[in-house]
Structures are given as structure tokens and as C-alpha cells.
Amino acid sequence: MTVGLSASATYLALLGIAVVTSVVTAVASWRYYERTGGRAFGVLTGAVALWVLADLTGLLSRTLFQAMVAQRVTYFAISVVPVAWVVLAFRYVGRPGMVNRRRVVLMCLVPAATLLVSLTNDLHHLLWRVHGISQDGVMTTVVSTSGPWFWVHTLYSYGLLAVGAGVFVNWSLRTRDAYRSQSVAVLAAVALPWAANVAYVTGLVSVPADVTPLVFPVTCVLLWIGLFHYRFLDVVPVARDRVVEEMREGVVVLDDRDKVVDANPAARRLLRPDEIVGRHMDSVFNAESVDRFGDVVEGRGRIAVDREDGTWHFEVRISPLSVDAGERVVIFHDVTEEERHRERLAEQTAELERQNERLDRFASVLSHDLRNPLAVARGWTDVLAEDEVNEDALERVHNAHDRIDTIVDDTLALARSGTDPELEPVALDELARRAWESVESGGRVEPGGRLDVDAGVVVMADPDRTMRLFENLFRNAVEHAGSDVEVTVGLLDGREDPHADGELDGGSVGFFVADDGPGVDEDDRDAVFEYGVSGDGGGTGLGLAIVRDVAEEHGWTVDLESTESGGARFAVRGLVPAERETPL
């Protein structure tokens, strides 16, 4: 073959450009090594670079030995390209099982045989028969004829290329426009050099030399477009048909220009019925969504979308798809029912608050309407006490009035229970004395009755409700131990509290109210806090139940225990000291 000097120089110059472009592409491709199909892509571009470089080296060699070494390297690289191409194709479309390790090894058998045949070709000439070299200026070519293994190698390579191309074509026909552009770029990148090779090998087109390596600059440009313009290794639809298409959540992929490059059926159903791939996010999402999440790279939140069938609520999660490319994945989860349930719950809560207000007004009216005639009855009872009347009957009337007064107080306390207490610093000893004075002024305590208070601590509590707790405990002591009862109020600590191990839990404090009465049997202690249980003292059956409610509303606990002398001791635990309270 004779090629003019100017044609040879031009050919070598173009081949040099192909070498530089192929090497640059091979080096750049390894940045995608850890991504899906990245390894196969790196092997493919590396083999292409080696092929072109070896071809250029062979053309610039000055001896037959140098040219044959370069030709053997060229065949090795050419044998690797089809295998890497098939592996890339299957992994890229989400079918890695088709190219598992065993199948890749089987695909490499023919290329390995080709390498072995090329190294031992001088013994059998199965790959080529060399007749010499031809030198035209600076370009050296090997003059040879093809052997039978050359056609085995060629047909096998074409077969693998056809399989890979078929995989991409089939995937391209089933995918959307965004991915179809990617596959076209990749297919064109591989088709061009192999079309040139077919033309050279079969002689269908008259060319002075093998122009296959010359088209690799175009191949590299197409691969570059597929890699960086369409980012086909950044937005890979691996297992898309198996997972994303069946997801109930809407999935939308945005590129670095906020253009929708992919969306699953759920996203199209939730956002709008027509095709959204290829549109800018401004034409897909409503204004509220764009304002809240348009510049968010990673985050989550909720949005409301007005549709013809009502207002829909979505939980939105945004995640970066790649570290430096700017793509984002937006996932929509329908929380409409949850939001509607929350709205219904809020309406029910508001209705309960209105009912509580009505109940509180009812209790206030009940208290007012009963206390007025009760005060009149008490006044006339005092008048009768000045005359000579049956003192026993008068005492019974007076006790009945006290009982009515207690029922009114307990009913009012029950009606207002269940709401959050209004906490403020309260001195326990002062509150206990005031409660005792209230019970004492009601005529419940005889001159022999006495209160001993040793509880000098300030805690966070609702003063009105805590006073009610003390009053009910004192009344209980009077009802069950007599009007001359002796009551003790003191603080609990780790030494005298059987429920504490050295100190009370979390730095809290506790107190007790003890009397010198007969106490309560251990088997009956839990029942005294139930509604309607009054024992033998003639109480309302509400007092200790209210004590339990007040304690629980504050987050305290109350237990009925026994003193050393056998009397009743009510221990209240879990109070927070005022100096430990941290303001919000």
C-alpha cells in the first residue's frame, strides 16, 4: 500500500489527535469508577486509548519487530472493547445479573484465545501471515494477509457489539425522551468507529488505510456529550422498572438547571396528568412549592396543593443526587388523610374546650345557687341555737349543712379537674397552715385538734388545687380520726422515705400528711382513692379521689402508708423545687 507523504503526515496528525482525545477521556472516566457502570466505562475508554496509542506506535515504528509488538498490543485492546461494551450496556440499564462474574469470564475466553494466538502466531499463522513492512515517509505499515482466527475474532467482536447495541436500543425504545437522548449519544459513539472498521475490513469503501482509529475523536466527543451534557452515569435508571415505577410516593429528578429529567407515574398523578419530563420546575410545581423549596438542596417539609378535588397535603423530601453536579431528587408523600385527621382532632379538641367551659360555668352556677340558701340556713340555725331547742337535732342540722358545703366544694373541684394546672412558686408550710385554718373555721376541729408543720420548702404548684389537696387530707383525718386529731405535715427524704434510695428521683421533693388515727388496713389502701369510697367516716367519697386527681395533674404520685403508731400517712412525691424550675 502506498500513501503519499502529505497524506501520511495528515493521517498521522489526525491519529495523534485521536490519541490525545482518547487518553483524556480515559483519564476523566475514572472519576465515575464507583458509580453504576463506571468501572465498565473506565475499562472501555482505557482499552480504546490503548488501541489508538498502539496503532500510532506501530505506524511510527522503524522495524518489523517494533511494528509486530505494537500490532499485538492493538489486538489485545481491540479484544477488550466488545466485552467492556456489553458489561456497560447491561449494568447501565439495570440488568447486572446478565453480566455476573461467571458470564464475564466466559465472554473473555475468545479474547484470551486471541491474545494467545497473537503471541504464538509465528508458529501457526492463524491470525495473520506477515509478508514484510512497507514504509512511506515516516509511516510504516505491516504487509500481511488475514488467517482463519482473524475472522473468528472479528465475528465474535461484532457479535458482542451487536448484543450491547441491542440492549441500548431496546432500552431506548422503552424509556422517555431524556434517557433516549443519552442512549443515542452512546450508540453513535460506538457505531462510528466500528462502521469505519467494517468498511475497511470488507473493502466496501475504498480507503488508503484503516481509518477506524481516526473516528475516535468523534467517538470521544459523543461520549463526552453523553457523560457531561446528559450525565448518563449520574442519573442512571438502575432497577427503575422494579422499584421507582411501583412506588406510591411521587419521585421527580431535577437537573442542575431545575429541569425535570425523570418522574415516576405517582409523581405525574399527584402533580398533573400530562407529561412533565423535560419541563422546568416552575411549570410543574405550584408557586408555593417553588418559593419554599426552589433553592433547597437537601431538606424536608410539608406543602398544601389546591386541586379540583380539594386541598391535598404532601410531605416533601429533597436530596442531592450527586455531590458536585447539582441534580436533586424530590419525593412526595401523600399525607392528606393525616392532615385531615389532625384538623378533625383540632376541631374535637376545641369542642371539648368549649364543653369544659360550659361545665365550669355550670359548676360555678351550682356553687352559687347552693351556697346562697345554705348561708341563709346557717344563719337561722345560729338564731335557733340562742333559744332553748333540741341541741342534738340542731347539731344534726349543722352537720348536714357542713356536708352540703363539702359536696359543693368537691363538685366544683371535680368539674374543674383535667385541665393543666397554673404553676407558680408555693411555700408548702404556709399553704398547709391556711388549709388547716379553713378546715378549723368550718367547725370540724375541736380545741384538742392540732397541726404540726415542718415543710419549709418552696415548690412549683397550682396554689388553689394544692390547697384543696391539703384541705381534703385534713378533712379525711378529722372524719376518720376524730375532731381532736393531731396531724403532722413534713418533708420526705432518702432516710425516711421507703420508696427512695438515698434521695428522691431527679432532685424532686416530697411531703407527707400523717394523723394519729386508726389508719387503714393494707388490703384496703388502694381502694380509698376511688370515687365513692368514704369508709366509715360519713364523707362524700370524693375527697381522696380529688387528692389523687390533683397529684396526677401536677405529675406527682400519692400513696397511702402507715405511721409507726398505726395512723394513716399520705405520701406525695415528685414535686419540683422552685429554684430548679427553668423558665422557658
**Tell me, what's the pLDDT at 44?**
83
- pTM value? 0.45
Which one-letter amino acid corresponds to residue 534? S
- If you ran DSSP here, which 8-state letter would residue 139 be given? E
**Tell me, what's the pLDDT at 237?**
47
Give 175-234 pLDDT, tens digit per residue: 555 555 666 776 777 677 777 777 776 766 665 566 777 776 677 667 666 654 555 544
Q: How far, in Å, CA of 523 to CA of 150, rounded?
A: 101
Helices (H), 311-335: none
Decide: helix, strand or coil at residue 170. Answer: helix
Burial class (CB in 10 A: 0-12, 13-18, 19+), 212: buried
Which one-letter amino acid corresponds to residue 262? D
pLDDT at 426 over 90: yes
Alpha-carbon Rg for the chain in angstroms:
47
Neighbours of 196 (CB within 10 A): 21
Domain boundaries, given as residue ranges, for the chain? 7-234, 238-338, 421-583
CB 436 within 8 A of CB 489: no
CB 320 within 8 A of CB 295: no
Which residues touch 301 (CB under 8 Å, ≥6 apart)?
A: 292, 293, 315, 316
CB 515 within 8 A of CB 560: no
Three-state SS sequence of 480-514: HHCCCCEEEEEEECECCCCCCCECCHHHCEEEEEE
- E-strand spans in 414-567? 424-427, 450-454, 458-461, 486-492, 509-515, 557-562
Right CATH for 238-338 from 3.30.450.20, 3.40.50.620, 3.90.1150.10, 2.30.290.10: 3.30.450.20
Residue that wins the pLDDT comparison between 283 and 535: 283
**Tell me, what's the pLDDT at 415?**
58
Give which of 477, 463, 413, 414 is closest to 434, Cα–Cα.
463
Helix 5-29 and helix 38-60: axis angle, to 10°?
A: 160
Helices (H), 256-335: 265-271, 287-293
Mean pLDDT estimate for the chain? 75
Helix 148-174 and helix 109-119: axis angle, to 10°?
A: 150
pLDDT at 155 over 70: yes
CB 64 within 8 A of CB 130: yes
pLDDT at 369 over 90: no
- Mean pLDDT across 127-149: 82
- pLDDT band, very low/low/confident/very high, at 461 (cuts 50, 70, 90): very high
Q: What is the enclosing helix (H) or strand (E) of 575?
A: strand 568-575
Q: How far, in Å, CA of 487 to CA of 255, rounded?
A: 78
Residue indicated by cell numbers 375527697: 543
Residue 462: how many CA atoms within 13 Å on its side-chain side?
18
Q: How far, in Å, CA of 295 to CA of 292, rounded?
A: 8
- If you ran DSSP here, which 8-state letter would residue 104 be given? H
**Tell me, what's the pLDDT at 490?**
94
* Percent of the chain residues past pLDDT 90, beyond the cut: 13
Decide: helix, strand or coil at residue 416. Answer: coil
- pLDDT band, very low/low/confident/very high, at 482 (cuts 50, 70, 90): confident
Tell me yes or no: is domain 7-234 CATH 2.40.160.40. no
Residue that wins the pLDDT comparison between 529 and 201: 529
End-to-end Cα, the chain, rounded Å: 93
Give which of 382, 484, 380 is closest to 440, Cα–Cα.
484
For 421-583, CATH gives 3.30.565.10
Give 11-61 pLDDT, tens digit per residue: 788 788 888 877 887 787 777 666 666 788 788 888 888 888 888 888 888
Decide: helix, strand or coil at residue 448. Answer: coil
Which one-letter amino acid corresponds to residue 560? L
Q: How far, in Å, CA of 274 to CA of 268, rounded?
A: 7
Give 64-83 pLDDT, tens digit per residue: 888 889 888 988 988 898 89
Q: Which residues of 218-253 are buried (b: 16+ CB within 10 A; e: fewer)?
A: bbbebbbbbbeebbbbbbbbbebeeebeeeebbbbb
CB 316 within 8 A of CB 289: yes
SS3 content of the chain, % helix, strand, coil (to 5): 55, 15, 25
Kind of pairing between the strands at 250-254 and 260-263: antiparallel
CB 21 within 8 A of CB 56: no
- If you ran DSSP here, which 8-state letter would residue 528 be given? G
Neighbours of 276 (CB within 10 A): 18
Q: How far, in Å, CA of 123 to CA of 380, rounded?
A: 139
- If you ran DSSP here, which 8-state letter would residue 175 be given? S
